[in-house]
Amino acid sequence: MVEMRIIGLDIGSRTVKRVILEDGVPVEHRVLPGTHDPLAVCEELLAGQEADRVAATGYGRRLFAAHREAEVITEIRAVALGALHVHPAARSLLDIGGQDTKVISIRPDGQVGKFEMNDRCAAGTGRFLEVMATALAYSIDEFVCAGREAERSQAINAMCTVFAESEVISATARGVDRAEMARGLHEAVTRRALAMLRRIDLRDDVVFCGGGALNGCLRQFISEGLGREVHVPPEPQILAALGAALSAVPEAERSEVG
Are the folds of 1-87+235-258 and 91-232 the same? yes
* Contacts of 107 by beta carbon, 8 Å cutoff, 6+ apart: 113
Indicate the pairing of strand 101-106 with strand 112-118. Answer: antiparallel
Q: What residue spans define the domains of the chain?
A: 1-87+235-258, 91-232
Cα–Cα distances in angstroms (integers) from residue 147 to residues 24, 172, 189, 251, in the given order: 40, 16, 12, 46
- Number of Cβ atoms within 10 Å of the Cβ of 239: 30
pTM of the model: 0.91
Mean local confidence (pLDDT), 78-102: 94
100 or 203, higher pLDDT = 100
| Listed range (202-211, 235-244, 249-258) with the worst mean pLDDT | 249-258
Reply yes or no on whether the pLDDT at 242 is more than 80: yes
d(CA 38, CA 26): 23
Fold observed for domain 1-87+235-258: Nucleotidyltransferase; domain 5 (3.30.420)
| Listed range (26-30, 83-87, 120-124) with the worst mean pLDDT | 120-124
Cα–Cα distances in angstroms (integers) from residue 60 to residues 57, 90, 173, 244, in the given order: 7, 27, 40, 13
User: CATH number of the domain at 91-232, please?
Assistant: 3.30.420.40
